[in-house]
């Protein structure tokens, strides 16, 4: 079984909540059998509190758009949101001057998004089946989507193909380093926490990434300069992990402060937050890394050539956030 990010076939197995997870020994990507497409659709239609989650992500969306907007000055700039859902992010994008396009597999969400933006703007189906022409979009985003697709490499490669040369991509995924740490800690306190109605806070999706696995993935797909950093967290407790909202909020503040501090102290080597953002060094005159003030992920398409999948420095320990 080859790793989807780095191609290694060296791995070991974890058992978490009666599920087997395969962990790549080279890049740390963790993955498991994929739930069927129907199960994913059922989850997002019937379980996921999309309105509450969207409201919690609004500050993140805003920061993402501020950064994306610094990457292009084109008055007709276009953005494709993969897994656009009901169109919450695209709604904010349209307000800030982007021409919105979306791809979504959930029919109910497509209906709502098409009411907002028009049928031509929203494709019902997978990214591959949309068959967009090459070099089409100024920006492509996929927030918390790569964690549940069949083949992350195929998705990122397709994003590369449909981006204009010099275009920007924004990707947000879960960080396996954080999830494993939380899993270990929570197992020890679970008997007490369970009695208090606190649900386990770790989230192991089909794919859970490490910073280095993302770097392999994006370089193999063609992106040359990538930056990886902690994503800002969603606000509040949209998934109701605990009966005590203040507890979740306090824990998030502590986690965000600690991981941000470690990121700064290590000069970007330790990226340990719950979610990761992939991007390129900002074109802002101030030279800030993407989303530091608000959150998000992105990378830039290399207009000229595909880099080697194993560029020097990638496999030499923890990665810096903005190295090429």
Residues interacting with Zn ion, by CB under 5 A? 3, 5-6, 8, 24, 26-27, 29
Taking Cα atoms as reference points, which of 59, 64, 99, 62 lies closest to residue 78?
99
Q: Compute how many other C-beta atoms are within 10 angstroms of the C-beta atom of residue 319.
A: 22
- Please list, in sequence order, all residues whose beta carbon lies within 8 angstroms of the beta carbon of residue 199, skipping any fewer than 6 positions away: 240, 241, 242
Q: Would you say 3 or 297 has its CB closer to Zn ion?
A: 3
Q: Would you say 24 or 109 has its CB closer to Zn ion?
A: 24
Q: Would you say 72 or 210 has its CB closer to Zn ion?
A: 210
Q: Would you say 26 or 323 has its CB closer to Zn ion?
A: 26
| Whole-number Å distance between alpha carbons of 61 and 312 | 33
Q: Would you say 23 or 231 has its CB closer to Zn ion?
A: 23
- Please list, in sequence order, all residues whose beta carbon lies within 8 angstroms of the beta carbon of residue 127, skipping any fewer than 6 positions away: 82, 103, 155, 158, 159
What's 319's DSSP letter? Answer: P
Q: Would you say 81 or 155 has its CB closer to Zn ion?
A: 155
| Whole-number Å distance between alpha carbons of 193 and 198 | 5
| Whole-number Å distance between alpha carbons of 142 and 108 | 19
SS3 of residue 291 by DSSP: coil
Task: Work out how close the CB of 11 gets to Zn ion at its nearest, in angstroms, rounded to a whole number.
Answer: 8
Task: Work out how close the CB of 31 gets to Zn ion at its nearest, in angstroms, rounded to a whole number.
Answer: 9
Task: Work out how close the CB of 315 gets to Zn ion at its nearest, in angstroms, rounded to a whole number.
Answer: 10
Task: Work out how close the CB of 321 gets to Zn ion at its nearest, in angstroms, rounded to a whole number.
Answer: 20
- Beta strand 11-16 pairing with 275-279: unpaired
Q: Would you say 162 or 217 has its CB closer to Zn ion?
A: 217
Residues 234, 238, 240, 244, CA torsion sign: positive
Task: Work out how close the CB of 14 gets to Zn ion at its nearest, in angstroms, rounded to a whole number.
Answer: 15
Distances (CA, A) of 5 to 83, 154, 319, 323: 21, 10, 15, 18
- Please list, in sequence order, all residues whose beta carbon lies within 8 angstroms of the beta carbon of residue 196, skipping any fewer than 6 positions away: 242, 243
Task: Work out how close the CB of 212 gets to Zn ion at its nearest, in angstroms, rounded to a whole number.
Answer: 8
Task: Work out how close the CB of 217 gets to Zn ion at its nearest, in angstroms, rounded to a whole number.
Answer: 9
Q: Would you say 44 or 209 has its CB closer to Zn ion?
A: 209
* Cα angle, residue 97 at apex, residues 92 and 102 outer, rounded to 5°: 55
Task: Work out how close the CB of 8 gets to Zn ion at its nearest, in angstroms, rounded to a whole number.
Answer: 5
């Amino acid at each position: 079984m080859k790793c989807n990010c780095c191609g290694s076939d060296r791995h070991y197995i974890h058992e978490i909540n009666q599920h087997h997870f395969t962990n790549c020994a080279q890049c740390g990507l963790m993955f498991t059998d994929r739930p069927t497409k129907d199960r994913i659709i059922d989850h997002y239609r019937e379980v996921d509190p999309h309105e509450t989650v969207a409201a919690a992500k609004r500050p993140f969306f805003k920061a993402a758009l501020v950064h994306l907007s610094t990457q292009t000055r084109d008055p007709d700039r276009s953005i494709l949101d993969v897994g656009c859902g009901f169109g919450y992010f695209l709604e904010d994008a349209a307000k800030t001057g982007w021409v919105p396009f979306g791809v979504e597999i959930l029919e109910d969400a497509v209906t709502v998004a098409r009411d907002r933006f028009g049928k031509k703007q929203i494709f019902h189906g997978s990214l591959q089946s949309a068959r967009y022409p090459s070099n089409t979009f100024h920006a492509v985003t996929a927030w918390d989507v790569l964690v549940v697709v069949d083949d992350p490499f195929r998705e990122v490669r397709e994003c590369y193909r449909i981006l204009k040369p010099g275009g920007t991509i924004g990707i947000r995924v879960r960080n396996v380093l954080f999830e494993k740490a939380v899993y270990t800690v929570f197992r020890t306190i679970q008997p007490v926490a369970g009695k208090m109605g606190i649900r386990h806070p770790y989230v192991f999706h089909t794919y859970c990434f490490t910073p280095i696995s993302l770097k392999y993935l994006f370089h193999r797909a063609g992106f040359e300069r990538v930056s990886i950093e902690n994503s800002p967290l969603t606000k509040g407790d949209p998934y109701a992990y605990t009966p005590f909202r203040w507890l979740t909020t306090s824990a998030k503040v502590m986690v965000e402060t600690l991981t941000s501090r470690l990121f700064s102290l290590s000069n970007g080597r330790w990226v340990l937050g719950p979610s990761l953002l992939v991007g390129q060094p900002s074109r802002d005159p101030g030279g800030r890394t993407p989303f530091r003030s608000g959150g998000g992920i992105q990378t830039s398409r290399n207009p000229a050539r595909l880099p080697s999948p194993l560029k020097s420095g990638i496999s030499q320990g923890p990665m810096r956030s903005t190295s090429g």
